[in-house]
Amino acid sequence: MTLVVLLLLVTMTACMGKDREENAGTVDTGPNDSGTEEMKPVTLTFLSAWNGGGAGFPQDQKNNPVAQKIREKTGVTLDLESITTSEVEKLNTMFASGTVPDIVNAPFWSTTGGEGQVIKKAAMEGQLLDLTPYLDKYPNIKRLATTGIAKDFAEFDLNSPEFEGKTYLIPTETPDGTPESIHNWNYGLFARGDILKALNVKAEDIDTQDELYDLLVKIKNGGFKDIGGKPVIPAGTMWNGWDYGQFLAGWTDYTISDFREVDGKLIHWTQSKDHEARLLYMRKLLTEGLFDLEAFSNTSTTANEKLTTGKVAVFGAQPMLGDLQKTLYKTNPEMKYELLGPMKNKSGNIRTQVEKPGRSGFPVLFLSASIKDPDAALRYIDYVNSEEGRLLAYFGIEGTHYTMENGLPQWNPDVKKQFDENPDLKRDAGLNYLPGRFIGAFSSEVTWPTPEDQKTEWQKLEESFSAKMPIQIIDKVSASYLARDWPQYEQFRDKTSSLNFDEEFKKALFAASDEEAIDMLHNVQEKFRDAGVEEMSEFVAQKAAEREDVGF
């Protein structure tokens, strides 16, 4: 039976109201499965406030098998929306206009800047729903709010003292509380394998800034083409310059705060002398035609086109297998990208992901204060974070997409084969959009380890990257939080609120000369000094000396 017929049967059965099977052993399916509370059909608006966040949306948002099953269980249908612009810009516009969708998923890296600061401000202005009165009614949501979160981030950011005990945010993409469940994003530099082969270069040998530069020069002079026969760009990134920092691994270290110990003194990261070397290195790549001049203005569409046609010979980001496996790797498998290095940092260690035992910064869900039916939204979120809901989100319909064997879900062989051959089929069955937007305090790999003989080549490839770049765990309290007790902290924040070091750094990349670029860098560093960054660093150093659990 083909997958198309399987999906059609599921759709017909659900529409006829006959699909009522229960998952045996499920214990936390939410408060409404008992039938004691009537569920009226309701449609809610949902925004994925991530640039390119709609890539995983099914073509039929409302009648795919997963959406149908959730509607049967919760009475809720979602209207899905995403963005292809700046996350901060979208959130600012949304809150300024007062047109907040019922449910929003957005980045929340900190309350002191970026998207998190915008979200916190909106919460303080009453634009976000206070979830505190609902938490006991929805235990799975309550679990999300407390599990897999770094203790300092939970205290100072997620539950900011300014929230006065109110809960506004629901974390997602958080681990289940075990080190094994921390997701490895495998950030790094990836080079087209056919180009490396033609140059007789081993990917693992490129692990320093000098070796990277030499490789890019060889690529530029090698006459290599993309799948359309056009010249490649030696190096580049995805949208909006993400993540050009991978090309600067030589000047990074394992850190968990905004402060660095240099020659026995604590400095703020903006004051590092390393920025000069980083700036001049990137300028050299740009001026010599080794780096995509459009990298910092790429839209998601443009960046994906360059990626999936093999136009960028070396890119810095995550492995991007979701896009590549169904495009370039199908048409031109010889162009499969290989992980360079891993690149070494300034201490001679490989550059890799640094984490605390719990995650600091993550996507969050929040509800509009104007939502007409908050229980419907919370019922939806609570259900998909139950045992039954998670199985549905990751594996679909039992009997149709998977069966349970020895307590573990196993894909039906014909379904797995078709999903592997065409990932869009999996997406359109509704099996892509929930895990990355609604589910937290969970690790599918830990809960449902895939038997080795059932792993796809893409899972094995991703795992091979993780094996080369294992996560570094630092079980410390970030020194950044100590700065919040500095008496002049708010004044410092006010003085630097209009300063964006990263944006000024990017502007300096395109200055007329190296001298002008260095002047631009020194200018923004001086503005931070004028705001009191050195005094703040001294305060943090004193406070850190008073305790043993602080990390930099």
Could you read off the pLDDT of 287-333 as tens digits, one per residue? 999 999 999 999 999 999 999 999 999 999 999 999 999 999 999 99
Q: How far apart are CA 173 and CA 50, in angstroms?
A: 14
pLDDT (tens digit, 9 = 90+) per residue, 30-58? 444 434 356 789 999 999 999 988 888 99
Q: If you average pLDDT over residues 74-91, what whole number do you get?
A: 95
| pLDDT recorded at residue 303 | 95
Cα–Cα distance between 252 and 520 in angstroms, integer?
Answer: 21
Most confident of 15-19, 410-414, 463-467, 480-484: 463-467
The residues that bridge with 368 in the sheet, in sequence order, are: 128
Strand order in the sheet with 188-192: 233-237, 312-317, 188-192, 337-339
Which carries the bigger pLDDT value, residue 147 or residue 26?
Answer: 147
Strand partners, 262: 265
Alpha-carbon distance of 374 to 128, in angstroms, equals 11
Look at residues 110, 77, 17 and name the one whose alpha carbon lies nearest to residue 362: 110
pLDDT the model gives residue 39: 75
| Strand ranges in 392-451 using DSSP code E only, listed in sequence order | 402-405, 408-411
Other C-beta atoms within 10 Å of 194: how many? 18
- The CA distance from 66 to 392, in Å, is 7
- pLDDT tens digits, one per residue of 366-375: 999 999 999 9
Average pLDDT over residues 147-172: 93
Q: What average pLDDT does range 487-502 have in this prediction?
A: 92
Please provide residue 488's backbone torsions phi and psi, each rounded to the nearest 5 degrees.
-100, 15
- Let me know: does 103 contact 46? Beta carbons within 8 Å: yes
Lowest-confidence range among 85-99, 384-398, 467-481? Answer: 467-481
Instruction: For residue 476, give the DSSP letter.
Output: S
With a cut of 60, say whether residue 245 has pLDDT above it: yes
β-pairing verdict for 477-478 and 472-473: unpaired
Residue 452 region by backbone torsions, left for phi larger than 0, else alpha for psi between -120 and 50, else beta: alpha
CA 179 to chain centre: 18
CB 77 within 8 A of CB 53: no
Cα-flanking dihedrals φ and ψ of residue 308, to 5°?
A: -80, -5
Q: Are the C-beta atoms of residues 430 and 65 closer than 8 Å to each other? A: yes
CA–CA separation, 51 and 159 (whole Å): 26
Give the integer Cα–Cα distance in Å for 308 and 56. 17
The pLDDT assigned to 189 comes to 98
| Dihedral (Cα; 106, 110, 114, 119), 10-degree rounding | 50
Same fold, 3-25+40-181+358-467 and 188-355: yes
Residue 253 has pLDDT above 50, yes or no: yes
Q: How confident is the model at residue 356 (pLDDT cuts 50, 70, 90)?
A: confident
Q: How far apart are CA 32 and CA 43, in angstroms?
A: 17
- Mean pLDDT over each residue of the chain, to the nearest integer: 90
pLDDT at 388: 96
Q: Which CATH class is domain 3-25+40-181+358-467?
A: alpha beta
Q: Are the C-beta atoms of residues 152 and 481 closer than 8 Å to each other?
A: yes
d(Cα 348, Cα 451) in Å, to the nearest integer? 35
Q: Is the pLDDT of residue 398 over 90?
A: yes
Residue pair 92/35 in contact by the 8 Å Cβ criterion: no
Decide: residue 277, CB within 10 A, 0-12 exposed, 13-18 middle, 19+ buried: middle
Residue 29: pLDDT over 60: no
Q: What is the average pLDDT across 98-114?
A: 93
**pLDDT at residue number 358:** 86
Give the helix, strand, coil percentages of the chain, each rounded to 5: 45, 15, 40
* Percent share of the chain, pLDDT over 70: 93
Res. 9: pLDDT tops 70: no
Find out if CATH 3.10.580.10 is the number for domain 188-355. Answer: no
pLDDT at 360: 87
Tokens for 309?
């046609």
Query: 228 exposed, middle or buried (CB, 10 Å; 0-12, 13-18, 19+)?
Result: exposed
- The mean pLDDT of 438-449, rounded to a whole number, is 92
| Cα separation of the two ends of the chain | 57
Answer whether residue 447 shows pLDDT above 50: yes
Q: What's the pLDDT at 492?
A: 94
Nearest to 189 by CA among 361, 346, 344: 344
Structural tokens at position 471: 């996560």
Evaluate the omega torsion of the peptide bond into residue 382 and state whether it is cis, within 30 degrees of 0. Answer: no
> And the tokens for 266?
């604590």
Which pLDDT does position 37 carry in this prediction? 52
User: Would you list the DSSP string of 267-288?
Assistant: EEGGG-THHHHHHHHHHHHHHT
Q: How far is residue 518's CA from residue 513's CA, in Å, rounded to a whole number? A: 9
Q: Cα 354 to chain center, whole Å?
A: 14
Residue 155: predicted pLDDT? 87
Which residue in 64, 15, 105 sits closest to 392, CA to CA? 64
Give the start-to-end residue ranges of the domains of the chain.
3-25+40-181+358-467, 188-355, 477-551
In this predicted structure, the answer to whether residue 250 has a pLDDT above a threshold of 90 is yes
Name the β-bridge partners of 350. 344
* Cα–Cα distance, 320 to 315 (Å, whole number): 10
In this predicted structure, what is the pLDDT of residue 28? Answer: 43
- The distance from CA 350 to its chain's CA centroid, rounded to whole angstroms, is 21
The Cα–Cα gap between 526 and 534 comes to 10
What is the rounded distance in angstroms from the CA atom of residue 467 to the CA atom of residue 342? Answer: 11
